[in-house]
Amino acid sequence: MIVLTGATGTVGGYLAVKLAERGHPARAIVRDLGRAQPLRQLGLDIIPGDMARPATLGRALKGATRLFLLSPDLPGEEKFEAESNVIEAAADAGVSHVVYLSVAGADVGDTVFARWHGRTERALARTPMSWTFLRPNGFMSNIVGPSGLTRQEETLALPAGEGRVSVVHPGDIAAVAASALTDPQHEHRAYLLTGPKALTFREQAAQLSALLGRVVSYVDLPEEAARESILASGTPALVADALLDFYRHVRAGNCAQVSDDIEKVTGSPARSFTEFIQELL
C-alpha cells in the first residue's frame, strides 16, 4: 500500500492521478476532509490525519509499505517536527521506502529552504527505511500562487532581478515520484528536477502575455515591498524570509542549472513553462 501526504496540494494531486492511472492502490492522509473529494473520485482511501499530531498517524500508516512525504509550507522547526512525526510513525508501521519532496541544494544547504529540507533528508537517511529525494529547482505553479500571478493580475512583481530559474512542471515532479514509489531501482537516489530551460521572470511574463492575449509585466520589486506583500498573503514570517533568501539566490544567478533527471526517470522530457500555462487555460 502506498500512502500519500500532501495529496490535496498541487504536486500531490498530480501524483494521486498518476497512481490511479497506473492502477496502484493508494491511501491519502488528509487533514482537511473537505478537500478530499477529488481523491475519493480517483478511488483513494482517505484517512484523517495531521502531521503535527502524531497520535493521528498510526492508523493512517497501518499496512503501508511506501510513503510519499510532502509537508505544508511550515517554518523551519515546525516543518522538521511535522516531518519527523511522519518519519517515526512510518518506521514504526513497517514502511520500507519513503519518497521525500525536498528542494534543490538540500545536500549543500545553500538557501534557508535547502537547510530546512536537508535536515529532514539526513533524518530519513538515519532510519532503516530506504529513500528517494526529489529536489525541484522551483515550481512553475508558484506563478499562480500567493506570491505570484493570478489570472486577473497584470503585473508579476518579485524581488528576483534578472536571475534565471529552471522552474519545473508539478506534474513532472509527480511523474518522477510515481516511478520512485513503484520501482525499487530508485531507492537511495536523489534527483534534481528542473524544467528544460532556465527563464527570468521577465521572460515568464512575456510568455504569459503571448498566451493570455494581454500584457503581463514583470516588476523587480524592492525586497521590503516584496516582504510586505508576502506577509499580507498570510505567509508566516519565517517562510517569507526564506522566500526572500531564495530570490536573493536567484538574483545571484544560482538557480539556472538544468538537469535531465526527469527524462532519465520517466522516459519523457521535462515540460516547458509554455506547456504548463497552456494546460491552465
Contact 127, 87 (CB under 8 A): yes
Q: Which residue has the cell 536567484?
A: 250
Distance separating alpha carbons of residues 42 and 61, to the nearest angstrom: 19
For residue 90, is it within any domain? yes
In a domain, 209, yes or no: no
Inter-residue contact 141 to 170 (CB < 8 Å): yes
In a domain? residue 250: no
pLDDT digits (tens, 9 = 90+) for 123-171: 999 999 999 999 999 999 988 764 456 556 688 899 999 999 999 999 9
Residue 225 lies in a domain: no
Q: Is residue 227 part of a domain?
A: no
Count: domains in the chain: 1
More confident site: 223 or 155: 223
Show the CA angle centred on residue 195, arms to residues 193 and 201, nearest 5°. Answer: 120
pTM for the model: 0.95
- Domain extent for 22: 2-137+169-192+259-270
Q: Is residue 148 part of a domain?
A: no
- Specify the length of the chain in residues: 281
91 in a structural domain:
yes
Whether residue 207 is contained in a domain is answered as no
Per DSSP, the three-state class of 80 is helix
In this predicted structure, what is the pLDDT of residue 142? Answer: 87
CATH number, residue 95? 3.40.50.720
Arithmetic mean of pLDDT, 173-188: 98
